[in-house]
Amino acid sequence: MITLCTTMGDISIELDFDAAPITAQNFLQYARDDFYVGTIFHRVIDGFMVQGGGMDIDMVEKDTRETIINEADNGRENVPGTLAMARTSEPDSASSQFFINVAENGFLNHSSKTPQGWGYAVFGDVVEGMDVVENIKSVTTATEGYHRDVPVEIIEITAIQISEDYDHL
């Protein structure tokens, strides 16, 4: 289990190494490197998803490792409480930014091996702290520079805890 300690409370997640081995390992590595500490939930859309893991509190994008391949064709669906990777319009472009679905987002699921149909790879689940996610999705947002839907009050990840059962992974 990995716990994201945020300024609004703790969110604990289990990674799905079976369905999305590369994406899960990628997230675990960012977590081990404390990459996510000091990043924020920078894009919050109620009825859709809350996204973070790439911007610092000044809305500057952090340098990431290489992008990973897209494992959206693993059969897992974008339903409330699942974790998936954000990316650009290029399917294999995810790096550190992730999002938590807060709605049935069927249109994000894999439908075909085309740029339009690749979908967004689900690689984990929120197992504790869904109430925190519910609170995050309801915060007031505004436009900041080129970014829309930015929470007015900063929601920062202040620490990461990785449980011992992930040690061997």
Partner 1 sequence: MSLLFISDLHLAPERPQVTEAFYQFIDSHARDARALYILGDLFEVWIGDDDPSDMADEVQRRLAELSASGTQLFIQHGNRDFLLNRQFMRRTGATLLPDRHVVKDHGRRLLLMHGDQLCTDDRDYQRFRRKARNPIYRWVLAHLPLARRQRIATEWRRKSRQENRNKPSAIMDVNQAAVRRVMHDEQATVLIHGHTHRPARHALDDGQKERIVLGDWERLGWCLRSEQQGLELLSFAIATPAAGV
Query: Which stretches of the chain bind partner 1, using CB under 8 A?
Result: 43, 45, 47-49, 51, 54, 61, 84-89, 93-95, 97, 99, 103, 105, 107-108, 120, 146-147, 149
Question: End-to-end distance of the chain based on CA atoms, in angstroms?
Answer: 12
Q: Are 66 and 95 in contact (CB under 8 A)?
A: yes
Looking at beta carbons only, is 17 or 48 nearer to partner 1? Answer: 48
SS3 for 46? coil
Report the nearest approach of partner 1 to the CB of residue 8 (Å).
20
CB of 103 to partner 1, least distance (A): 7
User: With respect to partner 1, which residue has the nearer C-beta, 10 or 61?
Assistant: 61
Instruction: Please identify, using beta-carbon distances, which residue of 45 and 162 lies nearer to partner 1.
Output: 45
Our CA angle for 123, 149, 6, nearest 5°, is 55
Is the Cβ–Cβ distance between 84 and 121 less than 8 Å?
yes
8 Å CB contact between 111 and 120: no
**What is the smallest separation between the CB atom of 81 and partner 1, expressed in angstroms?**
15
